[in-house]
Every structure is written in C-alpha cells, then in structure tokens.
Amino acid sequence: MSIISEMINDTGDDRDNIEATDKIVLIVEDDLRFGKIIIEKAHENKLKAIVATSYIEVFDFVSRYKPVAITLDVKLPDTSGWKVLDLLRSDLNYRHIPVHLVSGEENRNLAMKRGARSFLLKPLNNQALRELFSDIISFDKKEVRKVIIVEDNETESSQIAKLMASDLITVDVAPTAGEAIRLVTLNDYDCIVLDYSLPDMPGNEVLTRINQVKQKLTPVVVYSARDFDNTERNLLNNASNAVLAKGVDSLDQLLEEIVLHLHIRYTDLPADKRRLIENRRRKEDILTGKNILVVDDDVRNLFALTTVFERYNINVITAESGQEAINIINDDGVKTDMVLMDIMMPEMDGYETTQKIRREHKNSTLPIIAVTAKAMKGDRQKCIEAGASDYITKPLKIDQLLSLMRVWFYK
C-alpha cells in the first residue's frame, strides 16, 4: 500500500470499518486533500468511503467492497483514469457501477462517450459535491429504470420496446418529436433512444430541444439508419452519448448500449437478455483469433492460461524462458499479437527479456504486459522503463486480465 493510501486511511478511509449493509463509494484519487473532502461528503450522506490510489487497487477494491459508485480522477500516478474507465466498462462484472470522472481539464463529451455517469471539473465547489452525492444516492435507490424510445416507425419501436422491457426497465414510446419533448419534460428518464429522422422536426432541432428539457445526466443514444454529414456528426459528438447505426444485429448492440448507460448489473438481467449480450460480445470480441505469447517458467501457469484463453478462441504460444520468447518473436513464421511476460524467471528475467525485445527487434508497437508477483512500490515504473506496455499482478484475475488485453488491442 502506498504512503498516500495509509495517510488517507488514517484520516477517514473506512476500509477497516465496513459492515455488510454499508453503501460504499470508491474514491480513486492520489490527492490527499481532495480525497479527504470526498470522504467527508460521503460520511455526511451516510455512505462509507474507500480510497484507491492506483489502478491495481481499483480492481481489488471493486471486487472486495462492491461500491455503489466510483469517483475517478483522470490523473493518477501509475496510469490514466481514462484507461481505468475503459477497463471497468469492458468488464461485465463491473461495468454497471456508475463512474463519476473528475478532471482538471474540460473533457465532458469524451467522458460521456466512454460511459461515465458524470463529469466533474476541478476544483469542485459545494454545489457540485451536493449534486454528485444526490445523484449517487438517488440512483442507487432506483429499482426500476425508465427509457423512452423516440421512433416514428411503429414496427421498429415495438421491437425495441419488447427487447428492453423487463422487471428492471419500463419503456415509453414517442412517435413524434413533439410528443418526445412533452414526455421528456414531464418525466425523469434514465435513457433516451432517439431516431434522428422524424416526420415533424429536423433531427438537429429534436436533439437540441431534448437536451434542453431532459435531466442533466440522462444519456441520449441516437439509433438511426441515416448517413450523417460533418455538421450532424459534430452535433452528435457534443449532444449525444452514443450513435448506433440500424442494421443486422444492431438491436443486440442497442440492448448492450442501453444496459451500460442504465448501469444495470449484468447478472440482474433476464436470462434471454444476458444471452443476447454474451453472444454478441463473444462474436465481436477483439481477442478472438489473436496470437498471445505467454512467457512463464512455471508450466502450471502456462497450462492454466492456455485452458482459459482457448475458451475465448485465443491462440496461445508458450515460452518457458526469456530466450525462448525472443526466438519465437524472431521467427518470421510465427505471428505474435501480444506478450504476457512473467517478471520473475531464472537466468533471463522478464525485465531483461522485455528490454532485449524492444532493443533488438525495434518493435515499439507490440503490446507487452508484465506479470508481477505482487504490487510493490516502483514495480510499474520498473516494468515501463524496461519497455513493458502495462503490468498486472498475481494472482491473476482472469476478467481483469482479459479487460486489460482488450484495452491494448483497442488502442
């Protein structure tokens, strides 16, 4: 644990005082002063608070404490808050947790596009903090989410409504822009699904008007078959959370997008909806067919990872030493898309192996994820200085590892 974590813990972090019924906010923040402010506000609202100062701690604490919300600083000492957000959003076990992004630079649109619940610009005043905790508390209490579908095609709106409706989601349908604006004005919706082509109002005007009358944090998902021009794309970038194209299998994508923005726990969904999301993710998983070189001197670890990866249709290449790994990368007949590099190996350790790969092969784009035995202070810096792209600690949590791998392939 870092010195900052210990200091915050001594001054109000609740990790040693958690009961089963407590509602917990995870504060991802390395600024002691700001961390204490968030802790105090959490206590004022009868919430417990846990502070994480690194992204390795984030996933440990999310798994251990099951927070109802996360406040996430963009600038962390060992990584970017954006990457933490991407990792959380790519993991079915964690993606339902509302993340409130905190930054000293204006990046609201990007935060919304990447699935944040809200964006807070430092320095935060009392009003912003009150609104933050008001949303955390009210959203956690919501047992049913409300969605409005703005669509003039009755067949399509009926399909979407049938797909979305469950014990967790109620659906309203508006066939015109005028009716949509009226309903959004009167109701507190948790997500708005909008077709851009409506009979009574141009799409740009509909989107602008809806943003004027909706609740501040209500996400807007544009679902349209329209081929947008540059002016429309600029508006969509500023005024919507996501833009999805209608087409084959697009309803499954729409379901997953809405569930993400509603922050519904994946395991709480009806079985048929879970299967739709699982099948879509499996079919479109960026890891499918990738060639992963796993470097570890312990054959038990190689076997365990090979077994897991094969379930995800990942091709596994194994090396039991640093030199064997270098030989494989040297082999023009073997395609390597990523390397998982165990650091603690005899003879040539992971640091030296990584350095040689970078130096001898001039391969700056090959993702190399260092696997360390435990999170010690300075480990990440040593890995990065050796040439690793990222690092993860043992014992490996498979979901976390897969999420980290996906993030690097999406880059």
Any idea where the domains of the chain sit in the sequence?
3-141, 145-284, 291-410
Say whether pLDDT at 5 is over 70: no
Say whether pLDDT at 3 is over 70: no
Q: Would residue 129 be called left, alpha or beta, if left means φ above 0 and alpha means ψ between -120 and 50 degrees?
A: alpha
Specify the long-range contacts of residues 324-328, CB closer than 8 Å, at least 24 apart: 324/295, 325/293, 325/295, 325/353, 325/357, 326/353, 326/356, 326/357, 326/360, 328/293
Instruction: For residue 116, give the nearest of 104, 129, 105, 100 by alpha carbon.
Output: 100
Q: Kindly tell me the sign of the dihedral angle through the C-alpha atoms of 359, 365, 371, 372.
A: positive
pLDDT, one tens digit per residue, over 163-211 is 999 999 999 999 999 999 999 999 999 999 999 999 999 999 999 999 9
pLDDT, one tens digit per residue, over 223-250 is 999 999 999 999 998 999 999 999 877 8
Average pLDDT on 299-314 reads 91
pLDDT, one tens digit per residue, over 54-95 is 777 888 899 899 999 999 999 887 788 998 998 898 888 899
What does the pLDDT read at residue 362?
Answer: 63
pLDDT, one tens digit per residue, over 392-408 is 888 888 888 998 998 88
Kindly indicate the confidence band of residue 12, based on its pLDDT and cuts at 50, 70 and 90: low
- Fold agreement (145-284, 291-410): yes
Return the half-sphere exposure (C-beta side, CA atoms, 13 A cut-off) of residue 176. 6
Pair 295, 325: CB distance under 8 Å: yes
Average pLDDT on 272-291 reads 87
Say whether pLDDT at 360 is over 90: no
What does the pLDDT read at residue 377?
Answer: 62
What does the pLDDT read at residue 104?
Answer: 87
pLDDT > 90: percent of the chain = 66
CB atoms within 10 A of CB 382: 16
Kindly indicate the confidence band of residue 351, based on its pLDDT and cuts at 50, 70 and 90: very high
What fold characterizes domain 145-284? Rossmann fold (3.40.50)
What does the pLDDT read at residue 375?
Answer: 59
Q: What is the mean pLDDT of the chain?
A: 90
Say whether pLDDT at 378 is over 90: no
Average pLDDT on 374-388 reads 78
What fold characterizes domain 291-410? Rossmann fold (3.40.50)
CB atoms within 10 A of CB 126: 9
Alpha-carbon distance of 266 to 259, in angstroms, equals 8
Beta bridge pairs of residue 318: 294
Say whether pLDDT at 346 is over 60: yes
What does the pLDDT read at residue 361?
Answer: 65
71: enclosing H helix or E strand: strand 69-73
Average pLDDT on 3-28 reads 76
Average pLDDT on 249-274 reads 92
Pair 100, 118: CB distance under 8 Å: yes
What does the pLDDT read at residue 270?
Answer: 92
What does the pLDDT read at residue 2?
Answer: 45
What does the pLDDT read at residue 133?
Answer: 97
Q: Hey, what CATH class is 3-141 in?
A: alpha beta
Say whether pLDDT at 6 is over 60: no
Say whether pLDDT at 22 is over 90: yes
